[in-house]
Amino acid sequence: MSTTAVNLPKSGKASFWGSTNGKKVVMAVTGSILFLFVIGHLAGNLQIFEGPAKLNAYGHFLHSIGELLWPVRIVLIISVLLHITATVQLALLKKKARPVRYSRKEAIKSSYASRTMYWSGPIVLAFVIFHLLQFTAGYIHPESQFIEGDVYHNVVAGFSVWWVSVWYIFSICLLGLHLRHGLWSMFQSVGFNHPRHTPILKGAAAIIAVLIVLGYISIPISVLLGIVK
């Protein structure tokens, strides 16, 4: 009778993070945190349609509670780092599991959104960095002057540059694809997986992603069309 050596993990923590399911759970939890931020940020941005006073008051409010915002920022930064780390490690594990590529690769069940998850994420991250440098820090503000505290002016002036608006719209569309796949797979990662529920979750995720994209891109489009000026 032969025996097989089994390498047991040294701790439950190492077992959780070292497993594929553990990484997927981390992606689901951090993804949900980032999703809540996306919703909150959109709600704040849409106040631009209520005029300069409303949007600037919102900006001043955020500035006045700056110390309270730092814990939120730290949680968001940690969530982003963990989300990216788990994504990269899962991709490496997937590649390691199949070192030889398919002779003919066909996307039978996967959607376009799921197939673009690995490269849409880094592009969206690059967009977020550019967005912060432009509208928050004011380091990048092409063809206009950044006015500290005048959020309305900075947004309108920034999106009046056509290529900035195009880059924003493109990145938000990628974010929509990322959300479309990520929202329903988040439930799948935490064990909420059933053939009866999957179509409903996919449909709901698609609707939510479209609404978020339309909400965000409505701002630069309105600026370019002169609706917001």
pLDDT score of 218: 97
Residue (of 130, 120, 121, 131) closest to 80 by Cα position = 121
Q: What is the pTM of this model?
A: 0.79
Domain-located, residue 196: yes
| Containing structural domain, residue 194 | 22-90+114-224
Domain-located, residue 108: no
Q: What are the tens digits of pLDDT across the range 129-180?
A: 887 887 877 788 887 788 888 999 999 999 999 999 999 999 999 889 888 8
Identify the sign of the CA torsion 25, 27, 33, 36.
Answer: negative
Q: How far apart are CA 5 and CA 161, in angstroms?
A: 64
As for how many domains the chain has, the answer is: 1
Domain-located, residue 64: yes
